[in-house]
Amino acid sequence: MSLLRTERLKKYFGETRAVDGVDFSVNEGEFLSLVGTNGAGKTTLVNLISAFLSPDSGRIFIADRDITYAPVDERIRAGIARSFQLVNLFDDLSVLDNVALAIFARDGKSKRILALAERDTAVTQEATELLGEFGLGGKAQALAGGLAQGERKLLDVAVAYALRPKLLFLDEPTSGVSTRDKAQIMDIVSSVVRGGRITAVVIEHDMDVVFKYSDRVVVMHEGRFLADGPPEEIRRNRDVATYLLGTDVAA
């Protein structure tokens, strides 16, 4: 069943057709990868779905509800959360407080943000457990700004996950980390996502990672969808090889 759907979604920046009439559909429970070369329109598509941008035209539906122009908080309540290509953390707060803030925001306890020191034990406990799931238990009291890049990427995902979304968008959760750290991050992310039975859309450049973890792969090129299918089918797709991998499979 489709959890999220877009209809002819469009966003141009001047002459740039960032998202050019996209029909996107995400099925409940799948781990989907969104791939494409730099500037293909991946982040713009996620920005449109998560209310960081307004489309020029087209519609966005979650279940059967039209959320095309719904504000961010309403989309979060509808079950959509995201992480960022460039992490979006409070560097001067502890790792634990970064997650606690997301929990407070989710529960509508925004006044409590002013008094984090007095936060209730339920929130501390939930944040602690969640950090454990992401392998960051030992870093709870460290400042977010002092973490290594891989840990920062994981914390950014944990903050989005703390909103308890139905549908989680991860914009390059492994960018800027070594190949070894990539595998570790993706192992953690996929086990949390699959264990929590949530649906995930991951933007990723490393095709080894994409083929290993995804149920389905959607390939974007110049604002449009070039291919959409299971990893083994995408691996054999000639257009994908030409545009994305810079090689011709037949050659």
Q: Residue 43 or residue 83: which is nearer to Mg ion going by CB?
A: 43
Is there binding between residue 50 and Mg ion (CB under 5 A)?
Answer: no
**Coil, strand or helix: which one is 60?**
strand
- Kindly write out the interface string for residues 99-138 of this chain, putting x where it contacts ligand ATP by CB under 6 A and - elsewhere: ----------------------------------------
| 243, amino acid identity | Y
Candidates 35-43, 100-108, 112-120, 227-235 — which segment interacts with ligand ATP by CB under 6 A?
35-43
Q: Residue 38 or residue 121: which is nearer to ligand ATP going by CB?
A: 38
Q: Residue 43 or residue 50: which is nearer to ligand ATP going by CB?
A: 43
With beta carbons less than 8 A apart as the criterion, state whether 134 and 173 touch: no
Is there binding between residue 55 and ligand ATP (CB under 6 A)?
Answer: no
121 binds, among Mg ion, ligand ATP, none (CB under 5 to 8 A by kind): none
Least distance (Å) from ligand ATP to the CB of residue 72? Answer: 17
What torsion, rounded to 10 degrees, do the Cα atoms 174, 177, 182, 188 define? Answer: -70
Query: Which residues are CB-neighbours of 229 under 8 A, at least 6 positions away?
Result: 216, 217, 237
- Kindly write out the interface string for residues 142-171 of this chain, putting x where it contacts ligand ATP by CB under 6 A and - elsewhere: ------------------------------
Query: Whose CB is nearest to Mg ion?
Result: 43
Q: Residue 18 or residue 144: which is nearer to Mg ion going by CB?
A: 18
Following DSSP, what letter does each residue of 169-203 receive, concatenated? EEE-TTTTS-HHHHHHHHHHHHHHHHHTT-EEEEE
150 binds, among Mg ion, ligand ATP, none (CB under 5 to 8 A by kind): none
Count of CB atoms situated within 10 Å of the CB of 66? 11
Per the rule left: phi > 0, alpha: psi between -120 and 50, beta: everything else, 29 is left
Of residues 44, 50, 83, 94, which one binds ligand ATP by CB under 6 A?
A: 44
87 binds, among ligand ATP, Mg ion, none (CB under 5 to 8 A by kind): none
Is there binding between residue 43 and Mg ion (CB under 5 A)?
Answer: yes
Is residue 205 classed exposed, middle or buried when 0-12, 13-18 and 19+ CB atoms within 10 A define those classes? middle
The helix (H) or strand (E) run that includes residue 31 is: strand 31-35
Residue ranges of alpha helices (H) inside the chain are 42-49, 72-77, 95-106, 121-133, 149-161, 179-195, 207-213, 231-236, 238-240
Task: Enumerate binding residues for Mg ion (CB under 5 A).
Answer: 43, 85
Task: Enumerate binding residues for ligand ATP (CB under 6 A).
Answer: 13, 16, 18, 36, 38-44, 85
